[in-house]
Structure 1
């Protein structure tokens, strides 16, 4: 085995751990306070009419993605899914901040205490982690088993 493969494996374990913690934590927080989460989503611009669907599907998707990280053959799918979900969250925040007077935070737990700038930076950090993981897998495809 080469160094690049070993680094990739360690990196993927680290990123998987971070994403599992993030998604399980935020999904659990949303589900524990599902009524409050639903009310907040219902007040959000552009998506309020889908608040019931979003209130239940977002934590379910977060748990599903966290579960994908537990199985090595699904790591690439988990990274693409995480990249997509975090990108959607971030783009939505940026659009709403640009075109709306206010945006209620529907995040769970400690993350809801962040400013919007901190939240965007946090999301961008996780987006970068998943993108780097995707690129490492692609670079080491001949060593990574599916």
Structure 2
């Protein structure tokens, strides 16, 4: 397997684990998740009744897209956008843009402090970006002849 393909698969696997874990954690304790969303700053609190189901669904869609070669690039792009949004949100919390807001992430991520959460998000943002870059480069080199290995001369050994 080509090095870029390995990078894409490792990044995709890490993101699949992240999205499935966070989505299922949110759905498993949907009342707590809904309560946390309702205490977020506007417009999140207003959209809480919709976001309580849309966020886990989008996370599961991203995970599913990452599982298949035909949709992996789109899954990496969606993961990048999701992680960028979540990372900006956490960065605003770290700098104190809002007074006191609960973390509405699923599972053990709720227990992280805002700074630790920022580092966690930055890791997965970079993971998504690296996977996307490797996927794009891998596809580009396949369309341009791959490794550009010399073909056997005509009439040569089979």
Same fold at TM > 0.5 = yes
2:32 maps to which residue? 36
Partner of 1:128: 126
Distance in 1, matches of 2:45 and 2:76, equals: 28
Which is richer in helix? 1
Could you tell me which runs of 5 or more consecutive residues in structure 2 were left unpaired when the two chains were aligned. Answer: 144-158
Would you say how many aligned residue pairs link Structure 1 and Structure 2? 140
SS in 2 for 1:143: helix
Aligned Cα root-mean-square deviation (Å): 1.4
Where does 1:18-33 land on structure 2 (aligned, <5 Å)? Answer: 18-33=14-29
TM-score, length of structure 1 as denominator length: 0.90
Q: 1:112 aligns with which of 95, 102, 110?
A: 110
2:11 counterpart of 1:15: yes
Tell me the TM-score normalized by structure 2.
0.83
Q: Structure 1, residues 29-84: CA drift from partner, whole Å, max 9, x if none?
A: 10011111001100011211110111110000000000001101111111110000
State the distance in 2 between where 1:65 and 1:75 align.
9
Equivalence for 1:66 = 63
Aligned to 1:89: 86
CA distance in 2, matches of 1:95, 1:114: 16
- Indicate conservation of the 8 Å contact 1:40/1:106, yes or no: yes
| Unpaired segments ≥5 residues, structure 1 | none
Tell me which of 3, 6, 17 is aligned to 2:2.
6
| Partner Cα distance (1:62, 1:137) in 2 | 20
